[in-house]
């Protein structure tokens, strides 16, 4: 792990280190399942939600490089537009944000319509 301070308990890790450890675990499972052609499960895609929020920039760059070179497909959901530059523009899909605001009366009407 970054810093290499020796063995530590899981709850002694930083948020970024925990995320990196969890990503490594998920990636290893996906890679192993893909290599063994686990017919009952599709492990070829990993979905990540705001994966780089608590990662140092140098670790983020190394992780992005590893993800780009991987045979596993990643779907990354993020509000960090700087990440787009790390990928082929044809691989990046952007969604427009809309604001939705309901009152309790609106919610009652929506529920009643169902």
Q: DSSP state, 75?
A: E
3-state secondary structure of 44: coil
Map out the domains of the chain with their CATH numbers: 10-113 (3.40.50.300)
Q: What's the pTM?
A: 0.64
pLDDT (tens digit, 9 = 90+) per residue, 43-101? Answer: 778 888 888 887 888 888 898 998 888 888 888 888 888 888 888 888 888 777 777 77
Contacts of 82 (CB under 8 A, 6+ apart): none
> Partners of 48 in the beta sheet?
76
Q: Are 46 and 32 contacting, i.e. CB atoms less than 8 angstroms apart?
A: no
Q: Which residue has the tokens 């925990």?
A: 18
Chain-centroid distance of CA 5 in Å reads: 26
């Amino acid at each position: 792990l970054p810093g290499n301070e020796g063995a530590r308990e899981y709850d002694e890790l930083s948020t970024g280190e925990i995320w990196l450890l969890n990503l490594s675990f998920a990636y290893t499972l996906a890679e192993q399942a893909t290599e063994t052609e686990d017919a009952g499960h599709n492990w070829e895609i990993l979905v990540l939600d705001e994966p780089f929020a608590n990662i140092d920039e140098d670790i983020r760059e190394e992780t992005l490089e590893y993800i780009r070179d991987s045979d596993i497909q990643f779907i990354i959901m993020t509000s960090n537009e700087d990440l787009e530059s790390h990928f082929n523009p044809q691989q990046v899909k952007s969604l427009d944000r809309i604001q939705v605001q309901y009152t309790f009366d609106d919610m009652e009407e929506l529920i009643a319509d169902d």
